[in-house]
Structure 1
Amino acid sequence: MTSIKVILCACAAALLAGCAFAPNQQNQVAPSRPQAPEIATGYSEKSGWTAKTFMVAAANPLATDAGYQMLKAGGSAVDAAIATQMVLTLVEPQSSGIGGGAFLLHFDGSTVKAFDGRETAPASADENLFRTPQGKAVNFYDGVVGGRSVGAPGVLRMLELAHKQYGKLSWASLFAPAITLAEEGFTVSPRLAGMLKSEQYLKKDPVAAAYFYDKDGNPRPAGYLLKNPELAQVLREISQDGADAFYKGRIARDIEAKVRNHPVNPGGLTAADIAGYQARVREPLCTDYKAWTICGMPPPSSGGIAIAQMLGMLEIRDIRPLAPKNDEPNAEAVHLFSEAGRLAYADRGRYVADTDFVPLPGNSVKPLIDKKYLAERAALITDKSMGTATFGVPPGANVAWGLDNSPELPSTSHVSVVDGSGNALSMTTSIEDAFGSRQMVRGFLLNNQLTDFSFDPADANGPVANRVQPGKRPRSSMAPTLVFAKGTKRLVMSTGSPGGSAIINYVVKVLVGTLDWNLNVQQAISLPNFGSRNGPTELEQGRASDTLIEQLKARGHNVRVMEQTSGLQGIMRMNVHGEEVWFGGADPRREGAVRGD
């Protein structure tokens, strides 16, 4: 595989023609590893990677290498994703793992499928799960830390379902890299070390404290060789007996005991809840944008709908002529992008939830992405910022919903893969907050995904669509995305990101950067982050000039300069020096890497 230095230029050539680059003479790239992501982080420019046949992009080089091993052995994109996820459980435990959930979009050369591995609320949960006896919402971290926030994990059931349909290698073989690393040890990365240093709650769990900290309470430093024999044993059992080893045996009973016996914040999750978990295959949400078709996740993710809405509005307002110059976003582009985001997030907060429980307007995604409706929404964008957008009334919206107040947080990870047989996938995986519920069982952390539900079940307008209900999946912003040439089955790109509710803006930035501004995927990932979640206009700290800030303020924007630590990964098809290749990019704000042949 060849590495290509990123040149932040506005390329005049069409997307698939790419830019002209000077190849690095080395055959391998040692990707830079910036400091911790969700907390304050550095930015370290990365290279793009090329490969001819197959490629995997993930958030940690060890995880990327595991996926690469599967592809090298003739495995499918799903095989690579499974091996990658198992290693992420070990080396990036703060962000994802077998104690959490995921969404996966898969393309088999002709058809796109959406696999839903989102966690579910226990049978005992009700809409007052995060309310005090006095009827008020609890403090966020009072809800997060402990057993109350833990939902039935979904990622293993989802990956097993996908493997049964699209796997080539044996299930057991996919666990070998993670088992070896867990037994022999892995080097703690700068990112994990930084997260541990800033973490406030993990030490309260004796099991997690003994693993992540020394006897004096000091966090494991970068470079420390950390072994996890308990996780190795769990993965060995799952590799031999399938996902049932996790869902229907002692592992599930241990999770129940951990959750229900928390000393100050017990939860209701039972082994029966875990045993009853089912992954689902859903219809992907695919919409046309100019010369492309964009496919994303349907509910319970809000990512696909919000991205389709933003792109629909930006198509009408045409953001194409507003490309950045010298790595500086155009003020008009940021204005249009932020206003479209406000309108999309307003609808998201009002209408989107688990559609197995709560219908969308018109009982379909179609009214929210209807071209006429989006044109009406786009017409609300003027030369001045609207500040806070009001939700729209799409066709068929005849139910009064309350406003969701779930504070979705960003500890998540993303994997993109293309294999040698024409299969591709985009998978976003999460345990929700950094280190999840801060509860460790058998070498892995449990999620806190139930805090993605609204803490308030209703307001003056009516019930909140994303309120807690037994068996329900909390709404997510995870947005795994596949891009195709319009009217064909020709894959153009796979991308996605962590980042909580900001995921939507991060992914749209990459789509606009590549499809409208003719950047390659690494250039688009590396662009400064910006946008609005129907609040302030958010600009990335250290990447926003005074001139841009003043131009936006002159348009009425309430500007907030803040850390925006995306973790974008992406793989796109392009031409380099007349040869068609896969070109991969990883976020310079984190320690991700890309590898392929």
Structure 2
Amino acid sequence: MLLRSLLLLLCALPALAETAAPEAASGFSPRPAVSARNSMVSTANPYASKAALEILQRGGSAIDAAIAAQLVLGLTEPQSSGIGGGAFMLYYDGHQLTSFDGRETAPATADDKLFLQAQGQPMDFYQAVVGGRSVGVPGVPAMLKLAHQHGGHLPWASLFQPAIRLARQGFAISPRLYSLLANDRFLREDEAARRYFYQPDGQPKAMGSLLKNPEYAATLEQIARRGPRAFYEGDIASAIIAKVNQHPRNPGRMLPADLAAYQAIERKPLCGPYRSWQVCGMDAPSSGGVAVLQMLGMLQRFPLADMSPTASSTIHLFAEAGKLAFADRNRYLADPAFASVPSTALLATDYLQQRSLLIHPERSMGIASAGEPAGVKLSAYGRDSAVELPCTSHLNVVDRQGRVVSMTSSIEDQFGSRMLVKGFLLNNQLTDFSFAPVDHGLPVANRVEARKRPRSSMSPTMVFDSKGQFLLATGSPGGSQIIGYVAQTLIALLDWKLDPQQAVSLPHYGNRNGATELEAGQGLEVQASTLTALGHQVKMVEMTSGLSALVRTGNAYIGGADPRREGLVLGR
């Protein structure tokens, strides 16, 4: 029965994007919180957590451990993230917080007609996804190097050894990976992927069998020796370009100059108050930081600490705040190098108070409209229609010196563009742009443009206490549902005083300015009739998050990993 359940929980078709779950679940396995005195790591895969802990035990920093973990995730969780994708990282060095943007960029040849058919209609989603058209210039290698320059302690090349060793020796195919391979409709079309993942009869290689990837090991060896230049120039870059541009059905138009020009960016984090705490996340081109802070700001006037986490009244308020945040997100959030993103105005206290007053405790507002914060014209941009699928990974690390990393990485859809090159999968992140560049005559802020970064919902988050000391880190995969998962977890930790494991295990609910979604099979069905009476359109859906949370408790740490996936918390 467990395997059958695994097989059903796949990333959804575009028509079902609102209810998509992040790949397959690994069942729901209750687990205790983990405590540690000196350092802690939580990743979405046991191999990655063990690699990160190995680096910490060798005296590595939080950034060193995060790099090693991400390189292993690209091997053992290939459907979710890797060096062929992008990432956002928050980094606290014990004194100061910064963030790194490793989001993909569109090729210089891309324009706002990239995903339009000859008649001007948007392409079918998977018609766009599978192949080279959807591939953005990967950002992970450059971002990891930029982060290492700021907070690495061990030599760059040494951080590659756990992943190289595992790629050559092989890792056991997990039930989750097996189920995804068995049910993916497109991955077998790529000859290299078919050879690597499947048997000659087209069935996935057996669950539990060792999967070796010498090509990935060789790729990592080059990047270990020469740094990111080995990825963005030379043989690896040539292989990427050939793969993208020579797809037989859906080729892209990527140039060597696109790869050579890529740069990761250090950005100022986006921070705002929530009661006595300071909550910090990513600014644009991620929408996660703005939307999470908006939700918290709008809910601040309600006595959440006195409310039950799963009461219909709590779900109602949370859903209404989500509607308002998503209405603004879909109007204003995009790459700040190409659009005027009013993050400060969207988080202004008076604006959030005004928006909060639209939340009525006893009735639903229906579909929310975008607001008009001070100095911003609502008519500047149209509404975004981007489909954002939830195949992503998140990790948290704290080291002995109190340095902290919270990083979310992604290749977008499961197995990305379904193209394997040099042992890793290429992303399909360009489909995070709005396929339609214009809405009712207004330009969409998140439309496709050359060298632009698509909007994201990735929400690595840190919280600091009233004295400015680090308190917690959290984040999740889940496409646009990430925003609700993270906001709910923050409320659980801060208002309801749950421990990290309890917080990430809560039944999920939320609203992305449509139906109010309740996690199926978690006891929330009893709230459906009350919510319907308040005016909500209720849907019971799979909400298979991949949360992790790490909290400082005095001079120690306590952590939790989502019981819906195969994540592992380790400490020492």
TM-score relative to the length of structure 1: 0.91
Q: Residue 253 of structure 1 contacts residue 270 of structure 1 at CA under 8 Å; is this kept in 2? A: no
Aligned to 2:403: 423
Q: CA deviation at 1:550?
A: 1.1
Establish whether residue 482 from structure 1 lines up as the match of residue 443 from structure 2: no
Q: Alpha-carbon deviation of 1:574?
A: 2.1
Confirm or deny that 1:443 pairs with 2:423. Answer: yes
Alignment of 1:385-400 (within 5 A): 385-398=364-377, 399-400=379-380
**Quick one: which of 371, 375, 389 aligns to 2:353?**
375
Q: Which residue matches 2:62?
A: 77
Distance 1:89 1:39 in 2: 17
Q: Which amino acid aligns with 2:237?
A: A
Query: Alignment partner of 2:266: what SS?
Result: strand
Q: CA deviation at 1:170?
A: 0.4
SS at match of 1:567: coil
Shift in Å at residue 569 of structure 1? 1.0
**Equivalent of residue 404 in structure 1, options 378, 384, 387:** 384
> Following TM superposition, by how much is the alpha carbon of 1:92 offset from its aligned partner in structure 2, in angstroms?
0.1
Q: What is the alpha-carbon root mean square deviation over aligned residues?
A: 1.1
**How many residues were matched structurally?**
552
* Residues 151-190 of structure 1, C-alpha deviations (whole Å, 9 max, x = no match): 0000110010110111000001100000000001000111
Q: 1:163 aligns with which of 136, 148, 152?
A: 148
Q: Residue in 2 aligned with 1:468?
A: 448
In 2, Cα distance between the equivalents of 1:411 and 1:111?
A: 30
Q: What are the residue-to-residue correspondences of 1:44-443 with 2, within 5 Å?
A: 44-324=29-309, 329-361=310-342, 365-382=343-360, 383-398=362-377, 399-443=379-423
What letter corresponds to residue 358 of structure 2 in structure 1?
L
Q: Which amino acid aligns with 2:353?
A: A
Runs of 4+ in 1 over 3 A off after TM superposition: 34-37
Cα separation, 1, equivalents of 2:236 and 2:125? 28
Q: Distance in 1 between matches of 2:527 and 2:357?
A: 24
* Alpha carbons of structure 1 residues 553 and 41: separation in structure 2 relative to 1, 3 Å: farther
Aligned match for 1:574, one of 535, 553, 564 = 553
Instruction: Please report how far the alpha carbon of residue 323 of structure 1 lies from its aligned counterpart in structure 2 after TM superposition.
Output: 2.5
Q: Distance in 2 between matches of 1:447 and 1:360?
A: 25
Where do 1:483-502 residues align within 5 Å? 483-486=463-466, 488-502=467-481
What percentage of residue pairs aligned between the two structures are identical? 54
Cα deviation for residue 465 of structure 1 reads 0.2
* Distance of 2:479 and 2:253 partners within structure 1: 25
Q: Could you tell me whether the CA contact under 8 Å between 1:105 and 1:425 is conserved in 2?
A: yes
SS at match of 1:514: helix
Q: After superposition, what is the alpha-carbon deviation per residue over 1:105-163, rounded to whole angstroms, capped at 9, x for unaligned?
A: 00011111010000000000000100001100000000000000000000110010110
Q: What amino acid maps onto 2:415 in structure 1?
A: F
* Per-residue deviation, 1:40: 5.7
Aligned: 1:561 with 2:561? no
Which runs of structure 2 are paired with 1:527-538 in the superposition (5 Å)?
A: 527-538=506-517
**CA distance in structure 1 between the aligned counterparts of 2:458 and 2:406, rounded to whole angstroms:** 11
Q: Which amino acid in structure 1 is aligned with residue 97 of structure 2? A: V
* C-alpha separation in 2, matches of 1:200 and 1:550: 37
Structure 1 segments unaligned to the other structure (5+ residues): 1-33
Q: Deviations over 1:402-450 (max 9, x none)?
A: 1100010000000100011111010000000000000000110000000
Task: Choose 38-47 or 368-377, whichever is displaced more.
Answer: 38-47
1:359 aligned partner, one-letter code: S
Q: What amino acid sits opposite 1:459 in the alignment?
A: D
Shift, 1:489, TM fit? 3.0
Aligned to 1:512: 491
Judged with a 3 Å threshold, the aligned counterparts in structure 2 of structure 1 residues 109 and 40 are, in CA distance, closer, same or farther, namely closer
Contact 2:26 2:566 in 1 (8 A): no
Q: 1:423 & 1:173 partners in 2: Cα distance?
A: 20
How far 1:238 moved relative to its partner? 0.6
Contact 2:88 2:99 in 1 (8 A): yes
1:319 Cα offset (Å): 1.9
Offset of residue 270 of structure 1: 2.0
